Amino acid sequence: MTLDDIKLGQACRIVRVNLGGATGQRLMDMGFTPGAKVKVVRNAPLVDPVDLTLRGYHVSIRHQEAGGGLRLKNYEETIGR
């Protein structure tokens, strides 16, 4: 699943980051790395940006920045792994 697929309040784990270049590096520097838990806190009325919690802080990103490049899995499916 991707960032576009998760719903408000849903928690997921990052499985893979498929973004290269400056955008991919910037997101990884912000903590978007495999194994990190993300949760959607709020969606803007016109879809962008999406407000997430990640590693204990809030971050807002545009879907086009990370939409298809972050591969996610439901958090409940990853517990105990």
CATH number of the domain to which 27 belongs? 2.30.30.90
User: Residue 41 has what pLDDT?
Assistant: 93
Whether the pLDDT of residue 7 is over 70: the answer is yes
Q: Within 10 Å of residue 34's Cβ, how many Cβ atoms? A: 12
**Number of folded domains that form the chain:** 1
CA–CA dist 43, 28 (Å, integer): 22
Residue 50 structural domain = 3-78
Mind listing the pLDDT tens digit for each residue in 13-27? 999 888 878 888 888
User: Residue 81 has what pLDDT?
Assistant: 52
Buried b / exposed e along 39-76 (16+ C-beta atoms within 10 A): ebeeeeeeeebbebebeeeebebebebbbebbbbeeee
